[in-house]
Amino acid sequence: MVYKVELKAPALDEFANLRTQVKWKNPDDEVLKASIENSLFWVTVYDTDKLIGTGRLIGDGAMYFYIQDVIVAPSYQSKGIGHLVMTHIENYLSSTCSNGATIALLSAHGKESFYTQYGYVKRDGDVLGFGMCKFI
């Protein structure tokens, strides 16, 4: 199957729907819209005109980059869509990042091995400390 890849943000309703499909809660539309617009880079994957996958980068565009919202619709998982998204993200990073840049992500539980193939490592607490987050 050939999917259409676009390097642009999805429409708000498409993005909210995709997040809902993977059981992620959505903030109100105003917050979601601002989040979409303030991203550094987007990858969207479509089956004809249906959004089936996304991924994006947020951060300062110089020293810190954060991979966010790598999402694949449940009925399209395990079909290479996530790899397609990550390939475009990694290509962007390799052409944008300078030496010393930090790229981070939070993996969904059980999906860590997906990211290790791209060189991401679990923080074990010994060298760098454990990663931490706060949800409001």
Give pLDDT, residue 131. 82
Task: Tell me if 86 sits within 8 A of 70, measured CB to CB.
Answer: yes
d(C-alpha 52, C-alpha 70), whole Å: 11
Q: Which two tokens stand for residue 10?
A: 């999805």
- The domains of the chain, with CATH numbers, are 4-116 (3.40.630.30)
Which ranges of the chain have pLDDT less than 50? none
Give pLDDT, residue 133. 80
d(C-alpha 54, C-alpha 61), whole Å: 19
**Overall pTM surpassing 0.75 (yes/no):** yes
Give pLDDT, residue 126. 81
Q: Tokens 């676009």 sit at which residue?
A: 6
